[in-house]
Amino acid sequence: ENGEVLKIVEQKDASEYERQVKEINTGTYVFDNKRLFEALKNINTNNAQGEYYLTDVISIFRNNGEKVGAYVLHDFDESLGVNDRVALATAEDIMRRRINKKHMVNGVTFQNPAATYIDVDAEIASDVMIEANVTLKGNTKVGSGSVLTNGTYLVDATIGENVVITNSMIEQSVVKDGVTIGPFAHVRPDSTLEKNVHIGNFVEVKSSIVGEDTKAGHLTYIGNATVGSEVNFGAGTIIANYDGQHKFKTTIGNNVFVGSNSTIIAPVTLGDNALTAAGSTISDDVEKDALAIGRGRQVNKAGYALNKPHHPNNKK
């Protein structure tokens, strides 16, 4: 009546006239505590159930001349309660569909919206492609033209434009325009990948800055390092940055070529245009334009295998 609530009546106690009312009680209330506690003293069990109804306080308020207002919901989903894990999953599904719809309306493509999980605070530019089973958590931002493939997981990450991330995890890091990552890569917190960096399969980056056009294609760990532009990391390169108690810094200049299976023991600096031979262990600084070789020299012993059991001449 006049936008106010007269009373709330249980279905079993309602008259035929009252049952024609289409509005329902969703069970959500806001009370003045002092007035509520006074009203509770006056409720009784004079009803079909023989129970105390909290909702009787509405008519008590009205009889005392109090005003009782109602907030009318235009979407029934807004009234859903969560009392168990099933209801929680239902509510989460509703929110997920709303969030994903908002992004699709704004020009984001979802391969499978039902299998994509976007937090409410995530920001996604138009013309981003998101495949199934992608998760964006926290304050993640994704720039226009980027592609997030199946299994990608981003947490508080800032992703530039035209980035391609394939089945990889990025945490609390900045990935600039044109970078390619994955598959199966992990960019850990406090890292920055500058423009056009390539981080390939089974590569991990942590607390590092990686310069423009640098490539780490396979099986590499880059930790606590500042890496220049146009550096190439060969497969199996490891930056050993931890001695069991402290983390140490590595600095790698521009246009450095790190040979496959190199171990770089921090703290160390590799100057511009330096090279490390494959299989080297580098524990000292390498000056600009130098080649560092840190491995044992190969020795071939002729005929050595002739006396070994595996040799065909010695097999029975």
Instruction: Tell whether the model's pLDDT for residue 119 goes beyond 70.
Output: yes
Q: How confident is the model at residue 232 (pLDDT cuts 50, 70, 90)?
A: very high
At 124-173, the pLDDT tens digits run 999 999 999 999 999 999 999 999 999 999 999 999 999 999 999 999 99
Q: How confident is the model at residue 37 (pLDDT cuts 50, 70, 90)?
A: very high
- pTM for this prediction: 0.83
The token duo for 87 is 């209801």
- Per the annotation, the verdict on 311 as an active-site residue is no
Q: How confident is the model at residue 2 (pLDDT cuts 50, 70, 90)?
A: low
> Which residues face 268 on adjacent strands?
250
At 266-310, the pLDDT tens digits run 999 999 999 999 999 999 999 999 999 999 898 999 999 998 888
Mean pLDDT of the residues in the chain: 94
Set 74, 186, 218, 311: catalytic member: 218
Q: Is 181 helix (H, G, I), strand (E, B) or coil?
A: strand
Phi and psi angles of residue 278, each rounded to the nearest 5 degrees, phi first: -55, 140
**Higher pLDDT, residue 250 or 1:** 250
At 47-56, the pLDDT tens digits run 878 888 888 9
pLDDT at residue 134 in the model: 98
Q: Is 166 helix (H, G, I), strand (E, B) or coil?
A: coil
Neighbouring residues of 17: CB distance < 8 A, sequence distance ≥ 6: none
Which domains are seen in the chain, by residue range? Answer: 1-79 (no CATH), 85-296 (2.160.10.10)
Percent of the chain exceeding pLDDT 70 equals: 99
